[in-house]
Amino acid sequence: MYKKFLRIKLLVIFCLAIVACTNEEVSKGEYLKKGIVLFEKEQYKESELEIKNAIQEDPKVAEAYYYMALVNEKSKKFKAMRENLLESVRLDPESEKSRLKLGKVHFLFNDTDKSLEEVNVILAKTPDQLDALSLKASIFLRQEKIDEALEIIEKVLQQDAKHIEAVSLKTI
C-alpha cells in the first residue's frame, strides 16, 4: 500500500514538473508576443512593460532588445535605444534590422565611423540592401564625399525610383 501511494505521489510530482516547465517556456514567448502586438497598436507604455518582462524572463532573446529599442525610439530615449540595439546585435550578429537601426543611431550621434561599420557588415552579406546603401550615402554626405554619395544614391534609385531616403538625399 505504501509503495503504491509513493508511486502515485512521484507520478503527480513528475507531471507537475513537466507542466511547470512547459508553462515557463510559453510565458517567455508570450510576454514578447504581447509586447510586439501592443507596440504595433501604438500602446508603447504597455508594450514596454511586456518587453521588460520578456527580457527579465530570458535576457538572451535579441528580438526583445530590438523591440525595446523601438519603444525607446518612440519615447525619444536615444541613449537607451542605442544600448538595447548594441545588446540585440551582440546576441544576434546576423540581424540586419538591428544593425541597420544601430547604424542610424550611431549616425544620429554623429559617430559616422561606427555607423559605417554597421552598414558595411550588412552590405557584405546583402550588397543591394537599399536602406543600408542610403545610410551609407548619408554618411558619405556628412563626410563630404559627395561623388561617392551620389553614386550610391543613383544605384538605389535605379532599383527603386521611389525609395524615400534616396529621393530626399538626392535633393540635398
Within 10 Å of residue 49's Cβ, how many Cβ atoms? 16
**What percentage of the chain reaches a pLDDT higher than 90?**
78
Architecture of domain 10-92: Alpha Horseshoe (1.25)
- pLDDT higher than 80, residue 152: yes
The mean pLDDT of the chain is 89
Domain boundaries for CATH 1.25.40.10 within the chain: 10-92
CA dist., res. 136 & res. 42, Å (int): 30
pLDDT at residue number 82: 98
Fold adopted by 111-172: 1.25.40
Q: Is the pTM of this model over 0.85?
A: no
- pLDDT higher than 80, residue 9: no
- Per residue in 85-97, pLDDT (tens digit) is 999 999 999 999 9
Query: Cβ distance 34 to 50 under 8 Å?
Result: yes
